[in-house]
Amino acid sequence: MKLEQSFQVEAPLERVWEALIDVRRVAPCLPGAEIDEASDDGVYRGSFTVKLGPTTASYRGELRMEEVDETGRRVVMRANGQDKRGQGTAKATIESVMSAAGAGTKVDVVTDFTLTGRLARFGRGGMIQDVSNRLLRDFSACLQSSIEADRPGEEPSGPPAPAKPVSGFSLFFRALLDRIRRLFGG
Protein backbone atom coordinates (compact mmCIF):
# COMPACT_ATOMS: atom_id res chain seq x y z
CA MET A 1 0.00 0.00 0.00
CA LYS A 2 1.28 3.46 -0.83
CA LEU A 3 0.40 6.62 1.13
CA GLU A 4 1.26 10.16 0.06
CA GLN A 5 0.90 12.76 2.79
CA SER A 6 2.12 16.28 3.58
CA PHE A 7 2.31 18.42 6.66
CA GLN A 8 3.60 21.84 7.58
CA VAL A 9 5.83 22.82 10.50
CA GLU A 10 6.08 26.46 11.52
CA ALA A 11 9.86 26.49 11.80
CA PRO A 12 12.77 27.19 9.42
CA LEU A 13 13.79 24.42 7.02
CA GLU A 14 17.17 23.87 8.70
CA ARG A 15 15.63 23.24 12.12
CA VAL A 16 13.00 20.86 10.74
CA TRP A 17 15.65 18.96 8.75
CA GLU A 18 17.87 18.54 11.83
CA ALA A 19 14.93 17.27 13.86
CA LEU A 20 13.60 14.83 11.27
CA ILE A 21 16.91 13.10 10.62
CA ASP A 22 17.43 12.62 14.38
CA VAL A 23 15.52 9.35 14.79
CA ARG A 24 15.98 9.26 18.57
CA ARG A 25 14.48 12.74 18.82
CA VAL A 26 11.38 12.11 16.70
CA ALA A 27 10.60 8.50 17.70
CA PRO A 28 8.76 9.61 20.87
CA CYS A 29 6.42 11.62 18.63
CA LEU A 30 5.12 8.38 17.13
CA PRO A 31 2.98 6.65 19.79
CA GLY A 32 4.01 3.07 20.37
CA ALA A 33 7.55 3.49 18.96
CA GLU A 34 10.64 2.82 21.05
CA ILE A 35 14.28 2.92 19.98
CA ASP A 36 16.39 0.42 21.94
CA GLU A 37 19.70 0.71 20.13
CA ALA A 38 21.40 2.76 17.45
CA SER A 39 24.55 2.04 15.46
CA ASP A 40 26.95 4.45 13.81
CA ASP A 41 25.92 3.22 10.34
CA GLY A 42 22.36 4.61 10.59
CA VAL A 43 20.59 1.47 11.79
CA TYR A 44 18.13 1.72 14.69
CA ARG A 45 16.62 -1.28 16.43
CA GLY A 46 13.49 -1.14 18.49
CA SER A 47 9.82 -1.92 18.71
CA PHE A 48 6.51 -0.55 17.53
CA THR A 49 3.17 -1.46 19.05
CA VAL A 50 -0.13 -0.89 17.27
CA LYS A 51 -3.52 -1.49 18.83
CA LEU A 52 -6.65 -1.20 16.72
CA GLY A 53 -9.80 -2.27 18.53
CA PRO A 54 -9.27 -5.75 19.92
CA THR A 55 -6.22 -6.35 17.70
CA THR A 56 -2.75 -5.62 19.03
CA ALA A 57 0.46 -6.20 17.13
CA SER A 58 3.91 -5.63 18.60
CA TYR A 59 6.70 -5.55 16.06
CA ARG A 60 10.40 -5.89 16.75
CA GLY A 61 12.64 -4.72 13.97
CA GLU A 62 14.95 -2.11 12.57
CA LEU A 63 14.93 1.19 10.76
CA ARG A 64 17.79 2.01 8.40
CA MET A 65 18.69 5.44 7.04
CA GLU A 66 19.19 4.48 3.39
CA GLU A 67 19.69 7.92 1.85
CA VAL A 68 20.32 11.27 3.51
CA ASP A 69 20.55 14.05 0.91
CA GLU A 70 21.27 17.22 2.87
CA THR A 71 21.39 19.40 -0.24
CA GLY A 72 18.00 18.24 -1.53
CA ARG A 73 16.57 17.90 2.00
CA ARG A 74 15.48 14.35 1.22
CA VAL A 75 15.75 11.29 3.42
CA VAL A 76 14.80 7.68 2.67
CA MET A 77 14.33 5.20 5.50
CA ARG A 78 13.57 1.51 5.32
CA ALA A 79 11.88 -0.25 8.20
CA ASN A 80 11.04 -3.88 8.73
CA GLY A 81 9.71 -5.80 11.64
CA GLN A 82 8.31 -9.10 12.73
CA ASP A 83 5.37 -9.45 15.08
CA LYS A 84 6.75 -10.62 18.42
CA ARG A 85 4.28 -13.51 18.40
CA GLY A 86 5.19 -14.49 14.84
CA GLN A 87 1.78 -13.46 13.51
CA GLY A 88 2.84 -11.08 10.77
CA THR A 89 5.41 -8.73 9.34
CA ALA A 90 5.65 -5.09 8.43
CA LYS A 91 7.95 -3.52 5.83
CA ALA A 92 8.04 0.12 4.81
CA THR A 93 10.03 2.56 2.74
CA ILE A 94 9.52 6.13 3.89
CA GLU A 95 10.71 9.02 1.73
CA SER A 96 10.51 12.53 3.19
CA VAL A 97 11.28 15.67 1.22
CA MET A 98 11.37 19.05 2.94
CA SER A 99 11.02 22.47 1.35
CA ALA A 100 10.70 26.03 2.57
CA ALA A 101 7.11 27.29 2.70
CA GLY A 102 7.10 30.93 3.75
CA ALA A 103 8.50 31.13 7.29
CA GLY A 104 7.79 27.42 7.78
CA THR A 105 8.65 24.09 6.24
CA LYS A 106 6.53 21.74 4.15
CA VAL A 107 7.25 18.03 4.54
CA ASP A 108 6.06 15.64 1.83
CA VAL A 109 6.07 11.99 2.87
CA VAL A 110 5.59 8.95 0.64
CA THR A 111 5.27 5.68 2.51
CA ASP A 112 5.17 2.39 0.66
CA PHE A 113 4.40 -0.43 3.06
CA THR A 114 3.34 -4.04 3.26
CA LEU A 115 1.60 -5.66 6.21
CA THR A 116 0.95 -9.34 6.70
CA GLY A 117 -0.91 -10.97 9.53
CA ARG A 118 -3.60 -9.61 11.83
CA LEU A 119 -3.30 -5.91 10.94
CA ALA A 120 -3.44 -6.52 7.19
CA ARG A 121 -7.24 -6.87 7.34
CA PHE A 122 -7.51 -3.19 8.30
CA GLY A 123 -6.18 -2.28 4.83
CA ARG A 124 -9.57 -3.05 3.34
CA GLY A 125 -11.85 -0.07 3.04
CA GLY A 126 -9.10 2.48 3.57
CA MET A 127 -9.00 2.27 7.39
CA ILE A 128 -5.19 2.04 7.47
CA GLN A 129 -4.99 5.20 5.40
CA ASP A 130 -7.37 7.01 7.76
CA VAL A 131 -5.44 5.87 10.83
CA SER A 132 -2.14 6.83 9.13
CA ASN A 133 -3.48 10.31 8.36
CA ARG A 134 -4.49 10.74 12.00
CA LEU A 135 -1.10 9.49 13.24
CA LEU A 136 0.69 11.88 10.88
CA ARG A 137 -1.33 14.82 12.22
CA ASP A 138 -0.47 13.82 15.80
CA PHE A 139 3.18 13.30 14.81
CA SER A 140 3.44 16.73 13.14
CA ALA A 141 1.89 18.44 16.19
CA CYS A 142 4.40 16.70 18.47
CA LEU A 143 7.27 17.61 16.12
CA GLN A 144 6.10 21.24 16.10
CA SER A 145 6.11 21.28 19.92
CA SER A 146 9.54 19.66 20.06
CA ILE A 147 11.04 22.20 17.65
CA GLU A 148 9.42 25.13 19.48
CA ALA A 149 10.84 23.86 22.79
CA ASP A 150 14.39 24.02 21.36
CA ARG A 151 15.26 27.67 20.93
CA PRO A 152 17.72 28.69 18.18
CA GLY A 153 21.23 29.22 19.52
CA GLU A 154 20.54 27.07 22.59
CA GLU A 155 21.66 23.53 23.15
CA PRO A 156 18.73 21.18 22.29
CA SER A 157 16.92 20.04 25.40
CA GLY A 158 16.96 16.47 24.12
CA PRO A 159 14.16 14.27 22.91
CA PRO A 160 10.63 15.01 23.99
CA ALA A 161 9.14 12.88 26.72
CA PRO A 162 7.88 9.60 25.31
CA ALA A 163 4.43 9.99 23.82
CA LYS A 164 1.62 8.27 25.61
CA PRO A 165 0.49 5.25 23.67
CA VAL A 166 -2.54 6.09 21.60
CA SER A 167 -5.64 4.28 22.70
CA GLY A 168 -6.48 1.94 19.87
CA PHE A 169 -10.18 2.59 20.28
CA SER A 170 -9.63 6.34 20.43
CA LEU A 171 -7.46 6.38 17.31
CA PHE A 172 -9.82 4.06 15.48
CA PHE A 173 -12.89 6.15 16.32
CA ARG A 174 -11.17 9.47 15.53
CA ALA A 175 -10.20 8.07 12.11
CA LEU A 176 -13.74 6.77 11.64
CA LEU A 177 -15.16 10.19 12.57
CA ASP A 178 -12.79 11.84 10.06
CA ARG A 179 -14.08 9.44 7.39
CA ILE A 180 -17.74 10.16 8.23
CA ARG A 181 -17.10 13.91 8.08
CA ARG A 182 -15.59 13.53 4.60
CA LEU A 183 -18.56 11.48 3.43
CA PHE A 184 -21.09 14.02 4.62
CA GLY A 185 -19.03 17.10 3.75
CA GLY A 186 -18.69 18.20 7.39
Each residue's pLDDT tens digit, 127-172: 677 777 777 778 888 888 888 887 555 554 444 444 444 444 444 4
CATH of residue 134: 3.30.530.20
| pLDDT tens string 111-127 | 888 888 877 776 665 66
* pTM, two decimal places: 0.74
Residues of the domain holding 124: 2-183
The domain tally of the chain equals 1
Q: Give 164-171 contacts, CB < 8 A, sequence gap 24+.
A: 164/31, 165/31, 165/32, 165/49, 165/51, 166/31, 166/32, 166/51, 166/135, 166/138, 167/51, 168/50, 168/51, 168/52, 168/53, 168/55, 168/56, 169/53, 171/52, 171/131, 171/134, 171/135
How many C-beta atoms lie closer than 10 Å to residue 162's C-beta? 13
CA 10 to chain centre: 18
Q: Per-residue pLDDT averaged across 64-70, rounded?
A: 94
